[in-house]
Amino acid sequence: NVSVVYNNKMYIFGGYNALYGRHYNDIYEYDPHVNSWSLVVPIGEAPCTRRRQACVLVKDRLFLFGGTSPVSQNFHDDQSPDDRLIDHSDMYVLDLKPTLKTLCFIAIRKYKLTDSSLPQHVRVEYSNMFTSNKPALTRPSNSAG
C-alpha cells in the first residue's frame, strides 16, 4: 500500500495482503488527533485492485500511477508469482479539495445534463475530466510491405 499525509491526516491506498493473497483498491483516512480510521468513498471510477503503485500529493490532489494486479485467479502451479501479475500504466486523481467548477462538472455528469451551453474551453476541460487516461493498445503490423 501507499500512504501520503494531507492536512494532518494520513491516506492509505490499496495494497496486498500476502497472508490471504488478496489485492485491495480502497482508500482509508487516518486522523491521529482522534485515533480514528474512516473509509474514503470517492466519486467516479475507482482504480482496480493493485499493489506496487506510486502516489504523489501535489497541492490538494493525490495522483496514483501504475501498479500491478493479478491477471486472473486461474494460475498454474508452475508459474512464478510475478508471472501472475499485470502491470498498469494508468493514472487516477483524487481531488481532496475540489473546486466549485469540479463539483459542477460532477453534477453535470451525475444528472446527465447537457454541456452545450458551456463555452468551448470549458466543454473541453469537462470532457478531459471524464476521458479515460488509459493508453490505447495497438498491435504492430506484421506485414512485410
Shared domain check, 103 and 92 = no
Shared domain check, 77 and 27 = yes
Shared domain check, 120 and 76 = no
- Whole-angstrom Cα distance, residue 138 to residue 116? 33
Shared domain check, 71 and 19 = yes
Burial of residue 125, with CB atoms counted within 10 A of its CB: 0-12 exposed, 13-18 middle, 19 or more buried: middle
Shared domain check, 87 and 46 = yes
- Structural domain count of the chain: 2
* Predicted model pTM: 0.75
- Written as tens digits, the pLDDT of the chain (145 aa) is 789 999 999 999 999 999 998 999 999 999 999 999 999 998 888 899 999 999 999 999 999 999 999 886 555 555 555 567 899 999 999 999 999 999 999 999 999 999 999 999 999 999 988 887 665 444 444 444 4
* 3 state SS of 50: strand
Shared domain check, 104 and 42 = no
- Residue 72: the pLDDT is 65
Q: Tell me which of 82, 97, 112 is where a domain ends.
A: 97
Shared domain check, 122 and 91 = no
Shared domain check, 105 and 79 = no
Shared domain check, 72 and 8 = yes
- Residue 132: the pLDDT is 75
- Whole-angstrom Cα distance, residue 82 to residue 70? 9
Residue showing cell 494508468: 90
Burial of residue 142, with CB atoms counted within 10 A of its CB: 0-12 exposed, 13-18 middle, 19 or more buried: exposed
Shared domain check, 64 and 110 = no
The parent domain of residue 114 ranges over: 98-144
- Whole-angstrom Cα distance, residue 93 to residue 102? 12
Shared domain check, 74 and 19 = yes
Shared domain check, 119 and 79 = no
